[in-house]
Amino acid sequence: MAAEKGPRHRFERIAFLSSGAPEATAALHELVARYGNVHPEAADVIVALGGDGLMLQTLHRFMGANKPIYGMNRGTVGFLMNEFHGPDLIQRLDEAEASIVHPLLMNAIDMEGESVKARAINEVSLMRQSYQVAKMRISIDGRERLGELAADGLLVATPVGSTAYNLSAHGPILPLDATMVALTPISAFRPRGWRGALLSDKMRITIDILEADKRPVAAVADHFELKNIIKVTVAMDHATGLTLLHDPGHSLNEQILREQFGY
């Protein structure tokens, strides 16, 4: 008589990743002893143990791999993570709600004429490299909208990133399902009254650096930085989707909504 098989779970093969912090490493040993560990390429799901920094690194690492990622907070900041609790992990994965997010695609050109592309899940930021303010011209879909912005910098933030650096720069929080990006100045000097813009995520944003040799600017896509740029274009990469898993009642959309009410 054939032995009965147990119930099939939503994710059978789990790959665990740790930030390397002591709490994350201890959690890794606990979970691997309980559930085993497979190579990420063979996994049905990636479980990231750390903080938001590790989650961003993991999302970048597996971009285009079509692997859902479930994070558990074993770090300092855990906005993108679930609470840590190991014994019921399989049930939590079975019941987890999926959120699909898209990255920004940045194309930056430096003073040597080199063009570099990079993706950003949170934001693309332009920052002055010297004591002098940066001067930038902003065009949307090829049409100039702001001839000169004098500021410490400028952000293009996704809904996911709208609660991060963008919020610290007094930019708006965007619901996850908003088809928008936030364009937010950092310490704007001129025009003083400009507080940024909300743009359709189908629009293409072009930022030209004015007086680039005198007022150098760096462009940053999440953790990737390119110095001495003269021009940056940013657009949402709708062709690339990333899947984040969260416990019921704690979806990414719910987290963003709570942030708007301060809890």
53 is in an annotated binding site: yes
> Is 37 marked as binding a ligand?
no
pLDDT at position 262 over 80: no
Confirm whether residue 165 is marked as ligand binding.
yes
Annotation says 88 is catalytic? no
Contacts for 34 with CB less than 8 Å, ≥ 6 apart:
86, 87, 89
Residue 3's pLDDT band (cuts 50, 70, 90): very low
Q: Which domains does the chain have, with CATH numbers?
A: 14-101+241-260 (3.40.50.10330), 104-236 (2.60.200.30)
88 in a labelled binding site: no
Structure confidence at residue 4 as a pLDDT band (50, 70, 90): very low
The catalytic residue among 52, 110, 208, 222 is 52
Q: What angle do CA 196, 202, 208 make, to 5 degrees?
A: 50
Residues 100-118 pLDDT 10s: 999 999 999 999 999 999 9
Q: Does the annotation place 78 within a ligand binding site?
A: no
